[in-house]
Amino acid sequence: MSLTPRKNKGLLTYIAIAAVIIIVLGVLIPNLEPTGQGKKYSEIMHEFDEYNVSEYTLNLKTGELEYYLEGSSDKNTYIVPNVNLFINDTDSEIADYRAGYREKHNGEEVKVDYIRGSDNSWIITVIPTILLLIMGVALFFFMIRQAGGGGKYANFGKANIRPSNGKKTTFDDVAGADEEKEELKEIVDFLKNTKKYDEIGARVPKGVLLLGPPGTGKTLLARAVAGEAGVPFFSISGSDFVEMFVGVGASRVRDLFEQAKKNSPSIVFIDEIDAVGRHRGAGLGGGHDEREQTLNQLLVEMDGFTANDNVIVMAATNRRDILDPALLRPGRFDRQIVVNYPDVKGREEILKVHAKNKPLGPDVDLKVIAKTTQGFTGADLENLLNEAALLAARQDRKAIIESDIEEATMEVIAGPEKKSHIVTDRDKKITAYHEGGHAIAAYYLETQDKVHQITVIQRGMAAGLTVTRPETDDSHMTRTKMRESIVMLLGGRVAEEIVLDDICTGASNDLERATKVARNMVTKYGFSEKLGTVVYGDDNGEVFLGKDYGHTRNYSEEIASEIDAEVRRIIAEAHEQCEAILREHIDELHLVAKYLIENEKIDGDDFKKLIHGELETEKDEKPSAEEKRSETDINIGIPEEKTPDFKLPEEKDETPEVSVDLEKETDSDNTEE
């Protein structure tokens, strides 16, 4: 098999480097030979003093001394350290040495010769330096090529365009985004039928910016547009423009658009454009100027299109707030399409797409799953079905059943169950009453969502969970619903106060969320009668997001004190309401806690039957979760109010219990359990 030109070139490079190394060693090694069989200079002089040297020759350039001892034909060599010193030591007494030698050796004459070597010592000195310099330059260019991805140095300025993987994506592969597809179909039609738009004088948007939360399908829509149009599709990430060398980003922008124009009509797609299109003048660090230079070149290229280029730029981001205004003006990104969370119909369509290659059991209803997964994105739903398939495969089943879907949903929300984790009876009792308090409060609050599941089995960082699921896709949060969501969040802490006569750290997350909701009611939504319908504080983004150094407080210290007082008032009123609900339904709280201690979890339907005394008796006769693990069952009676049977040590830091809600609100922060 013959080598490719690229491999041949690489092989020749390595051969050249090896040859240079051999040459350098060949020059240096002769100069590193031993100096005369390990003899010292004093030993050489001793031979002369004893008149034992019968013949010697000295090279005046190299200092190499060749000599023969009397009675021996072996040539000895020695590199004298200093030629002048040696001559002085010998020639000053050469006449005496000759006479002494004749006397000792019966009239024989000593042979002395001095030779002058060729004057090329400077070459020997300079060649190693030159070779080392050549090796350094070659190594530098080799590193440059490696840093450029194995290409030539000129490729640094080339755009790192991602090739198509050969799989064509169409609008049929995109579900739950009907309006978004309709807007993009116009772009596709323009690329296919340019003449129709030219005749009527219409100008199709030069740029389309896809906005929305992560996982909603922005990149998938861009691939679908390219697949439907059947034109060259140039895909690149915003971070690919950023490089360690100055000017590379701008060069890659020029190269990207040059290739797109040569292959027009075409589509240029820049994923995560916020990496290069961030607001100018708000960055930190030395790379800020380079990023701005890249952005400036991008602005020039987009504004420099002619009417016949037929190149459409598409980009995706979930951070529109940090993009430069010049990038968003008409003439660049004319059309901005928001790809939001899918509604119940969209979720059902997305589930159908991802369930095509997955066998579903007869008890699996995609419509029901769509109703109970409000706030899930397309990526979340795909992950949910994949987790369900993994669970089914783990149990050696040939199809996905409803319990797989249910467990997969919980794993996506809070992580897998930690069934092997050892939990003490005391901790389980605390968690049971805590989660029971959330559930009872939610059940008797009219605006709160239906309780779906309660569990005291640890998942992720949570010691227990109370999961509620909305029955409808609500777009707005009312003041009453937000206030009652605080009541529900305080249900765990209030239950501890009423029943256990002590409190623990498990409610820390609940208190944090409740405080955030109350503060938003006062400062963001104008729900405070005392402070009025005024928004307090400007949210300009965090410094690491690329705009400002933080939040701006546009109110006085006096107003700040009033805000804190209003937040405390809202929390206190919610606490009183929650305490009234739990005291009124204390027996139901004990029933729920007892059931959770014995069975560890309860679904929404059984929870409703339990508090109404309608739960089937055979439910209680089944082996408990503790019996299944061959452990001692916990027999706990219903404690009287304010009659604790234990105290919590102060140094114990319990893992916070988290109440989970599948809803992701649009007009307010996530506030529901």
Which sequence positions are flagged as catalytic? 435
The DSSP code for 629 is: T
Rounded Cα–Cα distance for residues 440 and 251 (Å)? 63
Q: Token pair for residue 533?
A: 């319908």
Q: From the centroid of its chain, how far is CA 64? A: 67
Per DSSP, the three-state class of 603 is strand
Query: 């978004």: which residue's tokens?
Result: 180
Burial of 360 from C-beta contacts in 10 A (0-12 / 13-18 / 19+): buried
Q: Token pair for residue 34?
A: 């031993």
The DSSP code for 233 is: E
Q: In sequence order, what DSSP letters do the residues of 71-85 get, joined into one string?
A: T----EEEE-S-HHH
**Considering all CA atoms of the chain, what is the largest pairwise distance in Å, rounded to the nearest integer?**
138
Q: Is 537 left (phi over 0), alpha (psi -120 to 50) or beta?
A: left
Q: Token pair for residue 15?
A: 């051969």
- Inter-CA distances, 116 with 27, 58, 65, 106, 491, Å: 21, 9, 12, 32, 105
Q: Do 322 and 278 form a contact (C-beta atoms < 8 A)?
A: yes
Rounded Cα–Cα distance for residues 486 and 517 (Å)? 7
Nearest CA to 454 out of 437, 471, 435 is that of 435
Burial of 618 from C-beta contacts in 10 A (0-12 / 13-18 / 19+): exposed
Burial of 474 from C-beta contacts in 10 A (0-12 / 13-18 / 19+): middle
Burial of 271 from C-beta contacts in 10 A (0-12 / 13-18 / 19+): buried
Rounded Cα–Cα distance for residues 596 and 612 (Å)? 16
Supply the Cα-derived Rg of the chain in whole angstroms: 42
Q: Under 8 Å CB-to-CB from 365, ≥6 apart: which residues? A: 402
Nearest CA to 218 out of 237, 190, 242, 239 is that of 237
Secondary-structure breakdown of the chain: helix, strand, coil percentages, each rounded to the nearest 5: 50, 10, 40
Q: Token pair for residue 253?
A: 């922008």
Q: Token pair for residue 497?
A: 């106060």
- Inter-CA distances, 37 with 42, 68, 75, 123, 568, Å: 14, 14, 11, 27, 95
Burial of 537 from C-beta contacts in 10 A (0-12 / 13-18 / 19+): middle
